[in-house]
Amino acid sequence: MPAAQGNQRCLGRHREWLLMRDDATAECFLLHLTSQRRVHLPRLLQPPDPGESFALALASNSSETIAHPPDCTVVLSVHENRWLLHCRPGDECWGRVSVFEAMDDDDGRVYVTAMRGIVVVLDATFPVPRVESYKATLPPTCPTHLRTTSHLLLESTGDIFCVRLYLQPYGRQRRVVDVDIHVKPRSKDTWESVDNIGGRAIFIGGHNSSLVSNAAQAKLQPNCIHVLGMPRDGGIPLYTIVLDDMSIRCKLIQGFFDAGGDEAYWAVPICFEQESSKDNAGAVSCEVSGTKLVDEKQGGQKESGDHVSSTSLWSSLPRDLLELIVQEVTFMDSLRLPAVCKGWSGLTRSTPIHNAKSPLLLTTRARTQGRLATFNPMTRKKYDLGIYVSSGDPEPQVLRCSKRGWVLVTEGEGYVSMMNPLKGVILCLPPMDNDYFSGITFISEPGSPDFMVVCVSDWRGLGTMTARTWRNDDEDWTVTESEYQVLFLFPTASHNPVLFDGEFYCLGRDGRLGVFNPNKMTWRVLAKPEPLYDATSMDQNEQRYLVVWKEQLIAIFTVPHGEPMRTFRLDRSQMAWSELEDLSDVVLFMDRRNVLARPATREDLGNRIYVQSFAETDGAATAVFYSVKKRQYCPASYGNIEPVNSIWFEPNL
């Protein structure tokens, strides 16, 4: 676009209009994407800095006027300074209102977020926008992602949607890792948490967003959110959040963007944004059902425990042959074996199952509905368990960690439970008085003498570590706070603590180690090993993990978007990290908070680190892993499917 070249900088987009500023002359104008028409505005002498967050909205009494300015009010909000600029074509200068973050509807109202998250409704049809009313404050953030969020307000048929994106913290190249959605109907002043946006589609890019009310009519996939990431070398990441199965796809749009360039915006035709019908954006009802094993590839379904009529053909098979069959089936398929005939009912209890040693990727189909599904990376099969993990509370459930068939789940503000999805057992723990923590884990199985849940919170590395423990029959959590003095602060990584030599080890973002002793209820930061990274650098965008393998402590540092990982072993004789380039005897399974280590039963499984994503081709799923030897992802990192809420699950009947 010639009109957008040279010193022109795009400050925002509203539908088919761009707000442009000439950085050399301070001239400001609206530019229509299709006709290239310009509408001149007052000079903008003090524009937002490139690093600031800002948003654009055009407001008028009718959508027809917005399509054909100049009869409209231009609203430019700046988040950091908490003020809003406004003008109309023909004005001599910009006015200012002390609110920030704007979006609009088609009747001249502009919804903005003021101090302390209060949503203010402005009537922008007046020369100076007037405050019409104050609505409810923004909904609270998910405690799982306290640090880095970005929220947007959108309007659809009178309802206001608050879409909050959660970004992987630390570093400019942040990636989208989660989302939550709240809706405030026109007739209410309270927010409701929802799992879907109905037949709509949302496009987010730069500091602006667009909502298409009827995605199917626009030949788009409904119930999806499309997010443009920050430009990086070679292109720009495009995240597609599919709310139907609560997964994220990331593609790299290449050839158009350079690192450090301007942000990208969506250009959505106005005909797509016009409301054609009011869709129901309510959440799917939560219910608890019995266990169902559904092979998604075959589309078949069978109730666990239903017995198919036995035949002499199956019941008369020799025992040796049956044992060979059992050793070749997957763990999930082994659950179907008792349904074949009466003679097979006790087969899995007396025969070891070879493929049961492979962890399964356990996912939830929706944040608040909690329908569980699994993916086996070895057999490439997906199964819908048909189990709902929900207490009926609209707060999101988060899968935290898994051991010996048990899964630790947190829900809402401080609610913790233990679940065995294959046995249908749920154990509710006392609620915690804090909903933010760095990591949480457990040892042994519920009911066993040494069962214990451990939770640590570093309060963002400010010199205070809070640890909580819970054991069998405890009425409440045991809490201790430890202040520690170190030369530099110790912000912990986002992984769960690991048990090593009777104590729980936490990895700092810089590579140092912190240790919690559950018997003495003490916390300390080790003087060695020395840091591997500068913890204060915001350019670091790595995830850090700890895992124990063969009585050795292994640290893993990952970088998103396909860049090479780094692995280290703790040399305990020198208390120093030693970089590893070979892991041929182990296969690792990594999610966002945990790493599981298993022996490499085949030569080709060594040096593999399976991640929590998979690729799909013609309906067939392929697990994604990182090759330590080749230093690359297989398949490539971009274009894969990553479930939002998932962990590696260790089945155990």
Kindly write down the DSSP assignment for every residue of 516-572, as one continuous string: EETTTTEEEE-S-SPPSS-TT-TT---EEEEEEETTEEEEEEE-STTPPPEEEEEET
pLDDT at 452: 95
Instruction: Compute CA distances 267 → 12, 210, 224, 240, whole Å.
Output: 11, 9, 17, 16
pLDDT of the residue at 265: 75
Per-residue pLDDT at 325 = 74
Q: H or E segment at 418?
A: strand 415-420
Is 130:75 a contact under the CB 8 Å cutoff? no
Q: How far apart are CA 92 and CA 435, in angstroms?
A: 50
CB proximity list for 133: less than 8 A, separation 6 or greater: 120, 121
Burial environment of residue 483 by CB neighbours within 10 A (0 to 12, 13 to 18, 19 or more): exposed
- CB of 462 closer than 8 Å to CB of 479: no
pLDDT at 374: 86
Q: Which pLDDT belongs to residue 278?
A: 44
51-82: string of b/e by CB count within 10 Å (b at 16+)?
eeebbbbbbbeeeebbbebeebbbbbbbbeee
Q: Please name which of 420, 415, 471, 422 lies closest in space to residue 443, comparing C-alpha atoms.
A: 471
Structural domains of the chain sorted by starting position, each given as residue range(s) with its CATH number in brackets: 1-137 (2.40.128), 157-276 (no CATH), 286-394 (no CATH), 395-649 (2.120.10)
Task: Locate 261 and state its tokens.
Answer: 């360039």
pLDDT at 222: 93
Question: Distance between CA atoms of 320 and 312, rounded to whole angstroms?
Answer: 17
Closest C-alpha to 594, from 638, 550, 639, 650: 650
Q: What is the pLDDT of residues 300-333, one digit of tens each?
A: 444 444 444 444 567 777 777 777 777 677 666 7
Q: Terminal CA-to-CA distance of the chain, rounded, Å?
A: 63
In this prediction, the residues of the chain whose per-residue pLDDT falls under 50 are 80-81, 100, 102, 104-106, 115-116, 146, 170-171, 259-260, 275-295, 297-311, 352-356, 461, 538-540
Quote the pLDDT of residue 52.
54
Q: What pTM was estimated for this model as a whole?
A: 0.76
CA distance 80 to 78: 6
Count of C-beta atoms within a 10 Å radius of residue 630: 10
Q: Which residues contact 188 (CB under 8 A, 6 or more apart)?
A: none
The whole-number pLDDT of residue 505 equals: 95
As a whole number of angstroms, the distance between CA 552 and CA 536 comes to 28
